[in-house]
Amino acid sequence: MSDARTALERMFTAVLSGMGVAGEARVTENGDGAIAVVVEGEGTDVLIGRDGAVIDALQYLAHQTALRASGGEPRKVSVDAGGYRERRQRQLERLAEHAASEAIEHREEIELDPMTPHDRRIVHMALADRTDIVTRSEGDEPHRRIVVLPADLAD
């Protein structure tokens, strides 16, 4: 077991205990060094927070923990609780398709609400194969958002 994996197991044991979550964190590593932390159990919704703010913060802390435990070697770290990431991805993909349909139907730019970089990437990827629309990100963090528009209206 790697030092990063051990450090993350300790971190999540402390987080779950401190937040009063009766759950278990499973930490796995794949062959390319990426680490996944999956938390299952009762009360995991507190780990998600409003608009995923808590789980995003935990993922950032997990990344920093793995980075330090592995001597500065960059590692991809993902954190999920109660299947939130998959549900969120499906929700964003539906939003992306709806925005694209609206942009085409009304022949105008559709501006989405501000999103995290991770969420914006999902939206961009969901629409990447479409040739009839274009997506772009605008604004500054934390208010950066996606604009979806018909391709023939793009600059």
Q: Among 3.30.1370.50, 3.40.50.720, 3.20.20.70, 3.30.70.260, name the CATH number for the domain at 87-153.
A: 3.30.1370.50
Give the list of residues 6+ apart from residue 121 with CB closer than 8 angstroms, or none. none
Amino acid (1-letter code) at residue 49: G
d(CA 63, CA 132) in angstroms, rounded, equals 37
Segments making up each domain of the chain, as ranges? 3-82, 87-153
Taking alpha carbons only, the member of 155, 145, 151, 147 closest to residue 107 is: 151
Per cent of the chain over pLDDT 90 is 82
Tell me the per-residue pLDDT of 7-45, one tens digit each, with 9 for 90 and over: 999 999 999 999 999 999 999 998 888 999 999 998 899
Percent of the chain with pLDDT over 70: 99
pTM of the model: 0.83
Confidence category of residue 57, pLDDT binned at 50, 70, 90? very high
Residue 2 or residue 147, greater confidence:
147
How does strand 110-111 pair with strand 77-81? unpaired
Alpha carbons 70 and 65: distance in angstroms, whole number? 9
Q: Is the pLDDT of residue 59 over 70?
A: yes
Q: What is the pLDDT of residues 119-146, one digit of tens each?
A: 999 999 999 999 999 999 999 998 999 9
Report strand pairing: 35-42 vs 77-81. Answer: parallel
d(CA 32, CA 39): 22
Whether the CB-CB separation of 66 and 75 falls below 8 Å is answered with: yes
Enumerate the H helices of the chain as residue ranges.
Answer: 3-19, 53-69, 84-106, 117-127
Q: What is the CATH architecture assignment of 3-82?
A: 2-Layer Sandwich (3.30)
